[in-house]
Structure formats: C-alpha cells, structure tokens
C-alpha cells in the first residue's frame, strides 16, 4: 500500500489503480485462502490467541492485557510516521514508521500466540514468556 500511495509521484492520478488493487486484494484474501482450523504455526496460534482475547477478554491475564495495550504505542507512532512520510514524500519516516508497525505487529502476534498456548494448556517455552 505504501508503494501504491507513493506512486502518485510517478503516475499521478493513475496511482488510484494500484491503491484500488491493494484494497481489492485485502478484501479478497480471506475468501481465497481457507481458514485455519488447527493452529500449528506461530502465526495461526497468534490468530487464535487474538480470537480468545476478543471472545474472553475477562479471562486474559492482566500482564497480557498491559503488554498488548503498550504495543499500540509503537504501532501508532509508526502509523503517524508513515502518514507524514507519504504526505511529505520523505523516505526515512516512511520506512522507519513501516518498520515500527511491522515489529509491533510481530511482537503482538507472539504475545497472542503465547496466550493461545497458555489457555489451551500446550507446552510453553519458559524463556519466551520474558
């Protein structure tokens, strides 16, 4: 999406075509790929952990709630940097902001995956809890 928006510099209003393509892809993606029924991968466990968090928020340990809320801070800062970078056409805030968003999201997926493993009684690597 960042490159599609940045492309306005090169192709003017035709940049709406790649932006529209990204939006259509984001909408089609869940319909094209089948839903995961048994979470085995790290990402799938994170998705199932997110479902648990949304459905059973009261049963989520306080430490997880705090960590997940704090991870919003770098993601929001990254989002602001991306917007600023795209408006001003500055490379460093755009790249740095996108990196902050990605790292916060990966860390969030990791925490949610641990939550899933904790709730389902699966083996948890004690070092990953830190």
| 36-76 per-position pLDDT tens digit | 888 989 999 999 999 988 898 888 888 888 998 999 999 99
Mean pLDDT (the chain, rounded): 90
CA angle 95, 100, 106 (to 5 degrees): 125
Give buried/exposed letters for 28-37 (b at 16+ CB in 10 A, else e). eeeeeeeeee
State CA 18 to chain mean position distance. Answer: 21
The confidence score (pLDDT) of residue 130 equals: 52
Structure tokens at 128: 């990953």
Mean pLDDT value of segment 74-85: 97
pLDDT value at residue 129? 55
Percent of all residues in the chain with a pLDDT value above 70, rounded to a whole number = 93
Spell out the domain ranges in the chain. 1-33, 39-129
Residue 124 and residue 109: Cα distance in Å, rounded? Answer: 15
The contacts of residue 105 (CB under 8 Å, 6+ apart) are 75
| Calpha distance 68→42 (Å, rounded) | 17
Residues 6+ positions from 77 with CB-CB distance below 8 Å: 97, 100
Q: What is the pLDDT of residue 122?
A: 65
Nearest to 82 by CA among 68, 67, 97: 97
Query: Region 98-118: what's the mean pLDDT?
Result: 94
| % residues pLDDT > 90 (the chain) | 65
């Amino acid at each position: 999406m960042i490159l599609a928006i940045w492309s306005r510099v090169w192709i003017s209003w035709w940049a709406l075509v790649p932006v529209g393509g990204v939006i259509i892809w984001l909408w089609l993606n869940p319909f094209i790929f089948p839903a995961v029924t048994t979470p085995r991968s790290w990402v799938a466990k994170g998705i199932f952990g997110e479902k648990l968090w949304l459905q059973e928020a009261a049963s989520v340990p306080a430490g997880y709630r705090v960590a997940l809320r704090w991870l919003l801070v770098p993601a929001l800062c990254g989002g602001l940097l991306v917007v600023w970078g795209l408006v001003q056409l500055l490379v460093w805030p755009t790249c740095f902001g996108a990196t902050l968003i990605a790292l916060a999201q990966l860390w969030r997926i990791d925490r949610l995956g641990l939550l899933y493993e904790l709730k389902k009684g699966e083996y948890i690597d004690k070092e990953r809890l830190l």
